[in-house]
Every structure is written in C-alpha cells, then in structure tokens.
Structure 1
Amino acid sequence: MAGRNHYFLSIDDLAHARGAEPSLSYDGAGPNDFAAALQEALRSPMLFERWRAMQPEPDEVDPTLGGTDPAAESSARVADLHTDVDLITSLPMRIVRHRLNLLIGPGWQLRDMRAA
C-alpha cells in the first residue's frame, strides 16, 4: 500500500476559484464546502468519470489518473487573505493536481508536503 502524504495547499481567492469546465467545477460557498468537495473528488471516482466521458477518446484516458483514496481527509480555513487547505491522502500529486484543476483551476499552490 502506498504511503500517506500530508499536502499543505493555499488558494488565493476561493470565492472566484473555478475550474475551466463549469459542470465539473467547484461551486460552493466557502472553505468547508471546498474541503468537502475535494475530499469527495478524491474518495470517489465520480468527478474523474464525468471528466473522462467528456474527452474525445474516453477509452484512451490513462486509467491510473482515476485512482481514489476512500480514506482521504481534507480541511480548509480562511487565513489572512487566502484559504489554507490540509489534505491527507495516499494518492500521488499528479492525481491530486488533476482533481484540484478540475475543481478550481490554477488558483492554488502547493506549500509543503510531508509523510502523514
């Protein structure tokens, strides 16, 4: 089993952070809503499957990009003028990055990562 990592993320403007595809994008109202959306996106294959179905050749999408972690944990809080997100998961950064980009686009930053 893969080791678990603790990702420390920052979102500059959560109120306006949205992914490029509105039907896949985060549409909540605050840090708690976002943490729940991110947690669900990592625990369940639903967001990945919806995105994959939109691709020109869905069967050619790398299936490892659809990995999930049923034990993923996410929390978020407002800090100064940005939102801090703590994420604990066994998923690699390439999957976390893909799901974050679907949900909120490029408006996030990885601040640190440690073994959980």
Structure 2
Amino acid sequence: MTNRAHYYLQIKDLAHARGAEPTLSYDGADPNDFAAALQEALRSPLLFQRWRAMQPDPDAVDERLGVTDQLATVSAKVVDLHTDVEVITDLQMSIVRQRMTWLIGTNWQLHDVRHG
C-alpha cells in the first residue's frame, strides 16, 4: 500500500497570486514555472530554510515542518480562466498547504484528494 496522495488544486489568477512575504513568494505567471517552483519547494528544504531563518527564534522551529519528498511531482495547466494543479506526493496536506501559502498566499483551493 502506498502513502502517495494526489492533490488537485485550483488557482483563480496565477498571474497575480503572491505570498505575503516577497522573499518567499512565487513571482511569475506561467503554469509550468509555478509547477517547477512548487515541485522544488516540496523536494528541497531551501524554501523552508529561508522561512525558518526569518523567524524570531529559528532554532525553536520544529524541524518536521521542513520535511521534503524527493519524488514529489507537480503539473499545472490553464483551464478556462484558472490554473489546475496536480501534486503527487507522500507529504501531508498541511505541508503542501504551507509551501503553497509561502509561494502564492491563500489564492488557491483544494478540490480533491485521492490516495494510491
């Protein structure tokens, strides 16, 4: 049995979707570029490490928040007037939500989750 989850997300306006902190935020408009940025954020600890360094007491931040999945994959495409994103990962939704929020704030919605 696999722990892999397929998260189906939707971004209404990727061209204007930004996180609250500019140094962590995605800065683009292309679905493929966003997919690459999110995939990197799920596979690599670099975005987490930058966020952690910004905290008042970086040493107090729970290391488990920086978990990554080297096999995570992300694809994105424009459909009608929004961007559909599919994330396949072993990471819990709380971690995916954290990385999405850093990159594009709350400018997205989770539409479905499938396991297996």
Deviation at 1:75, TM superposition (A): 0.3
TM-score by length of 1: 0.97
Whether the 8 Å contact between 2:12 and 2:82 is mirrored in structure 1 is yes
Match runs of 1:54-93 below 5 Å: 54-93=54-93
Deviation at 1:28, TM superposition (A): 2.2
- Alpha-carbon RMSD: 1.2
Instruction: Please state if 1:40 is matched with 2:30.
Output: no
Deviation at 1:29, TM superposition (A): 3.0
- Give me the whole-angstrom Cα distance separating, in 2, the residues matched to 1:14 and 1:36: 14
Gaps of 5+ in 1: none
Report how many residues are paired: 116
- Structure 1 runs (4+) deviating above 4 angstroms are none
Deviation at 1:107, TM superposition (A): 0.3
- Give me the whole-angstrom Cα distance separating, in 2, the residues matched to 1:112 and 1:24: 26
Amino acid in the other structure paired with 2:41: A
Amino acid in the other structure paired with 2:112: D
TM-score by length of 2: 0.97
Task: Give deviations 1:35-69, integer Å, cap 9, x for gaps.
Answer: 00000000000000000000001111111110000
Gaps of 5+ in 2: none
- Give me the whole-angstrom Cα distance separating, in 2, the residues matched to 1:91 and 1:47: 15
Q: Which residue of 1 aligns with 2:28?
A: 28
SS in 2 for 1:55: coil
Sequence identity percentage: 69
- Give me the whole-angstrom Cα distance separating, in 2, the residues matched to 1:18 and 1:76: 16
**Cα 1:109–1:71 shift into 2, 3 Å:** same
SS in 2 for 1:88: strand
- Give me the whole-angstrom Cα distance separating, in 1, the residues matched to 2:31 and 2:71: 20
